[in-house]
Chains A and B, each alone.
Chain A
Amino acid sequence: MELQPVYIQILALILFALGIAVTLSRRNVFFVLMGIELALNAVNLSLVGFAKTLPAMTSITGQIIPLFTIGVAAAEACVGLAVVILIFRSQDSVDIDTYSNMKG
């Protein structure tokens, strides 16, 4: 039985929903970052899945773009972790709810 593209999309949707749910529900900043990564990769998976439905010559473009996205996401995760470390130094906490200087 051949892999239907719709299953790939369903998987991507489940992964994306999990990512968002983790991002919103966890208070630990590392879990939030991981949730964001998961949602991002779910989108990559969705892109590859759609690319697979196209003819071979154009399908290759859709499979290459996620590679770039992964590269960019790595860089972004790098910066994000650095920021988290700096915030941790000043706040002495990984709890995202305490990360605020705003009044009100």
Chain B
Amino acid sequence: MKKIWAIFRKDLLIELRTKDSFNAMLFFGIVVLVIFSFALASVRDFIRSAAPGILWVAFAFSGTLGLNRMFAAEKENGCLQGLLMIPVDRGIIYLGKMLAATVFMLICEIIIFIFTLVFFNLTVWQEIPWLALIFLVGSLGFAAVGTLLSAIAVNTRMREVLLPLILFPVVLPILINAVEATNIVLNGGGYGALRLPLSIMSVFTIVFATISFLLFEHVLED
């Protein structure tokens, strides 16, 4: 529907102009990579096996940053209030925001991934389509529940601190399965084994996107 597109486009437009979120998310993700490089120096030889975990930690942290900003930016100037006054189904707002969050995350993930390839000297060519699929489903799932929880956290006293605390336990299935799937792709295991983690991630995404869509009106406030 064109309203979802309007919301999505607006977020994208602001982001293209200011690049506030992108810069923060990207920088933070890369910093996490660097820290892990130092922390895991003793296992440099086996870095390829640690790569899935490191990658998704970086994605999760950078994604959380992006989600935080998504609604925090709306609170400036009371834009959230403006959205609330519009006679539009809250679920529409949710979908627009969720898509924007997914796209932002995906773009950052691609760039962070490229840095990972460089830092850890990995080669991946035929694995790329599979990785793309995992990144996509993972980001969708993360954003599906993250958008709702971010809307909750933004109206509390401790918004930046609260979001990670309430997000990570809930989004654990995505993280576990994404790491598992990435591991299968990078470190061998037969693509048939991908079916289970990808299924769980897909179920998670569909279930939580639906629930969030239905319940969004109860949490979106200013």
**A, B in one complex:** no
User: Chain B: residues with CB nearer than 8 A to chain A?
Assistant: none
